[in-house]
Amino acid sequence: MRDRGFTLMELMISMTLGLLLLGGLVALLVSSGASRKHMEQGSLLLESGRYGMDVLVEDLRMAGFFGDFDPADLNLLSSLTPADGSDPTGGACAGNLSDSAALSRLRYAMLVPVFGSAGGTGSWCAVANVTQVGTQSDVLIVRRASTCVSGDANCTMDTTNDVFLQTSLCNTDSTSGATYPLDRGTGALTLLQKDCTTTADIRKFIAHAYLVGTTSTIVNNQAQQVPTLFRMELNSGQWQAVPLAVGVELIAVEYGVDSSSADGAPDVWTQTVSSLTGCTNDNPLGCWNNVVAVRVALLARAVDPDPGYTDTKTYTLSSVPGVRTFTPGTGDNYRRHLYTVTVRIENVSGRRAP
């Protein structure tokens, strides 16, 4: 009768082969997990940057839209004097919009659909609500009216505290000198359509300010402050911070100014409109109201660092190479992606185009 079973040598060989196979499987799982994490980080990086840029572009395309109202056609608006012209928000910082001076400043701000400050140099009161980061990061402000009208379905508005615009198309209204009231709440807005019977459309006045701040996010089981693109929104008479895109660490803006020909095309591109001849923040008319195009650069970075990667790139943030760049610090382990876009301000340039 023959003996059956394994010899000690065969058992040791089979165990060794099993351990090798098990080790290979473990290595495969570890590698797969690392690859999956890199893919997730890459997807989040792309998604954040693209979403932030999409929101910015959509808002810029609507800048200067005020329904039936064209500020450039009324000389009465240009006679308004801003009580605080250096404030790019239009003076609504304190949120006390029942104050007539604040509403006057907002009327003045309607003449300037696009405003901003370069390199974090501008003083903007709403920054107190968000920890602004980065000495190179700009603040971009967009002003317009809502595309929906008060009373329409799915058009949510605070009819008591929001700021509203109503434009008269009735001749009898125009004789009263109140052809473009801007008021908090809808109760006092009683202007009429062209038939002088139907109530004129009432639209919410929208002011958005885009800046980079920080938000608390869990990274590697620890709470960390991560750069984030915020949009400050004027809602119910108060500025509210809305985080848009986590990981955006820098926004750089250039402005195309139609400074001479008034044909709707930019004659000069600049990061600081107020530095042009004859321009100041205190009197933006003739300067900021001539912005007909905007170039935006968003630099997005991954939320988690990659220990096996070092970012040695230099990112060009302006249309002129070398004028404005960003270089990460030594040993920086974050992956980044730069997004750029040029947007025409249709509601300004379109009215000037021949």
- What pLDDT sits at residue 37? 67
Q: Which of 8-22, 91-105, 113-127, 261-275 has the lowest mean pLDDT?
A: 91-105
Average pLDDT, the chain: 79
Query: Is pLDDT above 70 for 49?
Result: yes
The residue type found at 94 is A
- How much is the average pLDDT of 73-82? 53
Phi-psi region of 90 (alpha: psi -120 to 50; beta: other; left: phi over 0): left
Please, which pLDDT band fits residue 153 given cuts at 50, 70 and 90? confident
Global pTM value = 0.82
**Angstrom distance (rounded) from CA 264 to CA 274:** 19
Handedness of CA 191, 209, 336, 316 (dihedral sign): positive
Instruction: Tell which wins on pLDDT, 189 or 108.
Output: 189
Q: How confident is the model at residue 45 (pLDDT cuts 50, 70, 90)?
A: confident
CA–CA distance, 276 with 97 (Å, rounded to integer)? 32
Between CA 63 and CA 122 the distance in angstroms is: 21
> Mind listing the pLDDT tens digit for each residue in 198-217?
989 999 999 898 988 887 76
Q: What is the pLDDT of residue 296?
A: 96
- Quick one: pLDDT at residue 130? 57
For residues 273 and 279, the answer to whether their CB atoms sit within 8 Å is yes
Q: Which residues contact 92 (CB under 8 A, 6 or more apart)?
A: 102, 105, 106, 163, 207, 234, 239
Cβ atoms of residues 131 and 94 within 8 Å: no
